[in-house]
Structure 1
Amino acid sequence: MESPKYVELTQTSVSATSTFRFVDLFAGLGGFHTALAKLGGSCVFACEWVEGLQDLYQRNYGMRPHGDITTISAVLVPDHEFLAAGFPCQPFSKAGDQLGFEHTEQGRLFFNVLEILEAKRPKNFILENVPNLLKHDEGKTFARMRSELGNLGYTIRAERLSPHQFGVPQIRERLYMVGSLDSMESFAWPTPTDAKTHISTVLDANPPEARAIPDLLLRSLEMWDDFLTSSPASTDLPSFPLWSMEWGADYPYETTTPLEMLAAEGPTALHPFKGSFGVSFDGMTESEILRHLPSHAKRPGAEYPRWKKRFLRQNREFYTENQSWIDPWLPRVAVFPSSLQKFEWNAQGEERTVWKYVLQQRASGIRLKRVQSAPTLVAMTATQVPIIAWERRFMTQRECARLQSLGMIELPSQIGAAYKALGNAVNAHVVELIAQSLLAAGGVRGAQTLAA
């Protein structure tokens, strides 16, 4: 006998002092819950499909989220006045395949949110996702979302905001959508304070649990530090990503690609050219040529996108202009993996060293930023956690939690799981400011109604 499509829902009691009820969809670590509870809300329903995060949510907030939202009947969700949802961003992120609604597992979860909005008619909602959602499928995805929400009677507003605009030292721009069944004429987005921030405000002194930079990464940082200190003061270091494997390369890229040339004419078509670090392709077989092509040059397609052509052009021009001091340093970088051969300098005008800044290792290279803020936390591996360079260590889970304004909650015990959850989390402080304005526009401010 087939099991029923929908699971049964248990009822959750509401605090006598609460001024509104809310539901927390795709709850994760509970950033929405933290924010809305501070404003006097009482959570009557939550869902989160990761079982370990369900256990954690129960310990942090005293209620266990339901699992898969697709197994929940919208009409059985408890009545509420406020819906919050950070529906999965991977289908719309520039870091993914951008399959959108066609994503087989996550792309259509937005429509489960719609079903609950249609069935329960909460007065307000707030949704959070990546900024690229605005541009996905040439804007058609966001336009459809806005239309679907509007068809339910909601007035919609959307804005991109980042924690660093409100005193939290993390650059993490996200798209926030708010909606109300009432007029939103009096609603205003929170005004950025633009107060100066500094990463030190979330750091602990000599935390014993901090992980040291591993040896390979440490040696690559020492190598890039030598690059910076070797650069003449008269040379402007660019802000575009430095792709050192392009320094000495001259394979065609403007109107064709090496893979296209190999497919059309075979390896002899590339014999006159050079690959990574100026290695000549002369006499090489196809497999040998592929080994000496940069990884970014081996993407399929007859032509590179414009942004890649621009980076290739900029890097080759930079090398041509600075070859005299780069060449003595260049052999050192070739021994490292591709991700450590790329470097992004975002401290123009500052002291040229890696050891006074915040770093992050990404698949796209090492990124260096000023100490005013941390780079965006990402839901990837523990190696992509921000690095406090002057202490030769990664940020701890607790320090990263403070970047999400979740410094007081319990975190997953496993390091990788903690960083992944934090990378997926919504910033509680930003949500609190937005929700406070939305509630005030509708007659609720904090834990007291405006009428009171």
Structure 2
Amino acid sequence: MTEKKLKFIDLFAGIGAFHISLEKLGHKCVFASELSYDLRSLYKENYGIDCQGDITKISIESIPNHDVLCAGFPCQTFSKAGNQNGMKEARGKLFDEILKILSYHKPRYFILENVRNLLMHDSGNTWNYISHKLDELGYFFDKRILSPHLINIPQHRERIFIVGSLKSIDIEEMQWPPKEDYVNSVDSILNNDEIDSNLELEKINVLNTWGEFLNELPKDVEPYRPLWSMEFGANYPLDVEWESLPLNEWHKYKGMYGYPLKSCDSLELVFEKLPNYVKTQKGIPPTWKQKFIYNNRTFYKENKKFISKTTLNKIKDFKLESWKKFEWNCPGTQRIFYDKLIQFRGSGVRIKKNNYLPSLVTVSTQIPIIGKYMRYILPEEGARVQSLPEQIKLPETKTASFRVLGNMVNVELVYRVAFQLLKNYNKVPTEETIDIFEEV
């Protein structure tokens, strides 16, 4: 590796993805910090290092001098899936802890990672703050949206990588990992097919029903995306404040699946016949929501002659409203789930091609499903898709494992980014990569 080992610190360390990547390049971790006690214990077990706790409680002077600062700082507060409070809440302010360390220790390099929405959060003000502060500290820096699928790993998980150096040459000559032409199928990370299905029967029934729905449509008719079946037959108004509409006005319209609202003698009964996104809407619905609703209604009007009452009644009877939403993201392919990837999300039942594993998320109920075997992916399979070496120990429970896997940065992406960023610090050999599929 390099002629001289660089010292790096691993902040918000989690399972230690940055640690693995930089150690693979020959560098040495001199400090790690992680809020979770369980993950600190696991860090010690995996890497033999005493991982410190809450970074806000650690004196900056006690952090060893280092050459590289690595941090996948908390992203939930910047994510579209979160509350987007950003730097208004404690987690969002943790970036300032990074700034304090950079200001005091002045490491030559840093590598940061977060959700891609960090760029657009708060109309760009969050990124403007970050870039201004890094510039004030004298760093040259660059950023790029990267995803494992760009380097032949079957997971679409777009994240922003921010790299910096006190030397302009490091940034000027850095080459971001190029996009590869091919993406492996998810089969490349799976265990053998002898594993029994662990998918709940009610979810299998949901998938069978949506399969029937697809097969009733003509081959030249693709289902609208996203499909909100609650709008089939509905005609309530879209350009008004729903919560302020009086009862007599509601009586003019139809609710979910064409239910006549004139039969409701109270607003409470009216709202029972409307989708949740109506009940929770404050003010006039945004344009995007109006568009989705209108297009779903149009799709149903044009295709209801193909949709049997039997199938539609099964969909209406689904236990959860999210199961009544459907996202078929495989246009032009066979309308079967056998060769697809499936995910039950709050936004609906999502179907993807088998080289399009969705982002692993921290919610265990949204673990991706392998259509070929009608089972959830296993923690060790999720670890492979995140490029973790086989010897790295995960938390003991499935829920805890996927919480870690959903929060971590992809090891192979970090490795390639770090290789390029650090290549000018002494002599670097020909690039080698981590073959995450070699032991599968």
Give the TM-score taking structure 1 as reference length.
0.91
- The answer for the alignment partner of 1:67 in structure 2 is 53
CA deviation profile, 1:325-364 (whole Å, cap 9, x unmatched): 1252211101111011111011100001223200111111
- The answer for the alignment partner of 2:256 in structure 1 is 276
What secondary structure, in the 3-state scheme, does the structure 1 residue paired with 2:236 have?
Answer: coil
CA contact (8 A) 2:33 2:54 kept: yes
The residue correspondences of 1:21-100 to structure 2 (distance < 5 A) are: 21-100=7-86
- The answer for the alignment partner of 1:137 in structure 2 is 122
CA deviation profile, 1:128-165 (whole Å, cap 9, x unmatched): 00000110011010011010011001011010000011
Distance in 2 of aligned mates of 1:66 and 1:196: 38
- The answer for the alignment partner of 2:209 in structure 1 is 223
- The answer for the alignment partner of 2:175 in structure 1 is 188
CA contact (8 A) 2:5 2:26 kept: yes
Matched, 1:246 2:231: yes
- The answer for the alignment partner of 1:351 in structure 2 is 334
Q: How many pairs were matched up? A: 425
- The answer for the alignment partner of 1:128 in structure 2 is 113
CA contact (8 A) 2:30 2:64 kept: yes
CA contact (8 A) 1:31 1:425 kept: yes
Distance in 2 of aligned mates of 1:275 and 1:57: 53
**In the alignment, residue 135 of structure 2 is paired with which amino acid?**
G
Distance in 1 of aligned mates of 2:369 and 2:283: 38
Distance in 2 of aligned mates of 1:286 and 1:198: 50
**In the alignment, residue 121 of structure 1 is paired with which amino acid?**
K
Q: Provide structure 2 residue ranges, at least 5 long, that are not aligned to the other structure.
A: 432-440
Distance in 2 of aligned mates of 1:188 and 1:436: 10
CA contact (8 A) 1:40 1:447 kept: no
- The answer for the alignment partner of 2:352 in structure 1 is 369
The residue correspondences of 1:151-230 to structure 2 (distance < 5 A) are: 151-183=136-168, 184-206=171-193, 208=195, 212-230=198-216
Task: State the 1:58 CA deviation.
Answer: 0.9
Task: State the 1:64 CA deviation.
Answer: 2.3
Match of 2:383 among 371, 380, 401: 401
Task: State the 1:194 CA deviation.
Answer: 2.8
Match of 2:298 among 308, 317, 342: 317
Between the aligned residues of both structures, percent identity stands at 39
What secondary structure, in the 3-state scheme, does the structure 2 residue paired with 1:147 have?
Answer: helix
- The answer for the alignment partner of 1:12 in structure 2 is none
What secondary structure, in the 3-state scheme, does the structure 2 residue paired with 1:302 have?
Answer: coil
Task: State the 1:211 CA deviation.
Answer: 5.9
- The answer for the alignment partner of 2:322 in structure 1 is 339
- The answer to which of 36-45 and 321-330 deviates more is 321-330
Matched, 1:429 2:429: no
- The answer for the alignment partner of 2:101 in structure 1 is 116
CA contact (8 A) 1:258 1:270 kept: no
**In the alignment, residue 95 of structure 2 is paired with which amino acid?**
F
Q: Provide structure 1 residue ranges, at least 5 long, that are not aligned to the other structure.
A: 1-15
- The answer to which of 138-147 and 182-191 deviates more is 182-191
CA contact (8 A) 1:159 1:177 kept: yes
- The answer for the alignment partner of 2:221 in structure 1 is 235
Distance in 1 of aligned mates of 2:125 and 2:231: 37
**In the alignment, residue 158 of structure 1 is paired with which amino acid?**
K
Compared CA separation, residues 256 and 301, structure 1 to 2 (3 A): same
Across the aligned residues of Structure 1 and Structure 2, the Cα RMSD in angstroms comes to 1.8
- The answer to which of 386-395 and 321-330 deviates more is 321-330
Task: State the 1:292 CA deviation.
Answer: 1.1
**In the alignment, residue 60 of structure 1 is paired with which amino acid?**
N
- The answer for the alignment partner of 1:293 in structure 2 is 274
Distance in 2 of aligned mates of 1:206 and 1:407: 22
Compared CA separation, residues 275 and 213, structure 1 to 2 (3 A): same
CA deviation profile, 1:15-66 (whole Å, cap 9, x unmatched): x986101000000011111111101110000001111111111111111211
Distance in 1 of aligned mates of 2:339 and 2:232: 27
